[in-house]
Amino acid sequence: MKIREKICAWLFEASKKPYAFIFKRNKKAWSQTSSQLLQFPEGTLGKKVGEFLRKNQFELLDKLESHDVYHVITGMSTSVKDEVGMQFLLLGNGKRSLYLFSTVSICILLLPEYLKYFMKCYKKGKLYHPIHKLNLKLELNNSLNEIRWRLSQPMIQINNI
């Protein structure tokens, strides 16, 4: 891993707890473990998130659960390139936050060689219905394929004439 990628990875790691404390203080934690998620039926988002967590040796972080769920829905890995790519996908998808803007800005400067990939992720995000507006905890019982299908359906444009 390049030193600049290590810097990005360190920034991600160092910012998790302060971000949750400052921006997610009123959010209720899901209180779900990977073992509990693995009990969901086959093919559900919950089961797939449990498998993702087990494979990567993670547990859900309180109040930041959506991050790992986004990985599962988008199919993006936990490599630095994909972590940043997912932020670009979410930006293209309409998510707006100080953290997102900061991440995107810093990573454009630190990882300009991936800019083409990041722009591809941004454009991909524009194609989906807003992922960040889903109630992800409620979606855990639904089929991952069905969720992906719903998100990918064409947006209906209504023009006032």
Beta-bridged to residue 9, according to DSSP, are none
Yes or no: say if 12 and 39 are a contact pair by the CB < 8 Å rule.
no
| Mean pLDDT rounded to a whole number for the chain | 92
Q: Is the dihedral of CA 108, 96, 9, 44 positive or negative?
A: negative
Which of 7-21, 58-72, 109-123 is the least confident region? 7-21
For 126-129, which contacts have Cβ atoms below 8 Å and span 24 or more sequence positions?
126/92, 126/93, 127/152, 128/93, 128/152, 129/153, 129/155
pLDDT at position 153: 86
Length of the chain: 161
Residues 90-130 pLDDT 10s: 999 999 988 899 999 999 999 999 999 999 999 999 999 99
Q: Global pTM?
A: 0.88
Which pLDDT tens digit goes with each residue over 18-49?
Answer: 888 888 888 899 989 999 999 999 999 999 99
Q: How many H-runs (helices) and E-runs (strands) does the chain carry?
A: 9, 0
What is the residue extent of each domain of the chain?
3-152
Residue 119's pLDDT is 97
Q: Is 89 in a helix, a strand, or coil?
A: helix
Confidence (pLDDT) at 91 = 97
Residue given tokens 């890995």 in the structure block: 77
First to last CA, the chain: 54
Q: What is the mean pLDDT of residues 132-152?
A: 95
Whether the predicted pLDDT of 139 surpasses 70: yes
Which residue's entry shows tokens 């004439």?
161
d(CA 5, CA 81): 8
Q: What confidence score (pLDDT) does residue 98 get?
A: 87
CA distance 22 to 31: 19
- Mean pLDDT over residues 64-68, rounded? 93
Identify the bridge partners of residue 143 per DSSP, sorted by sequence position. 44
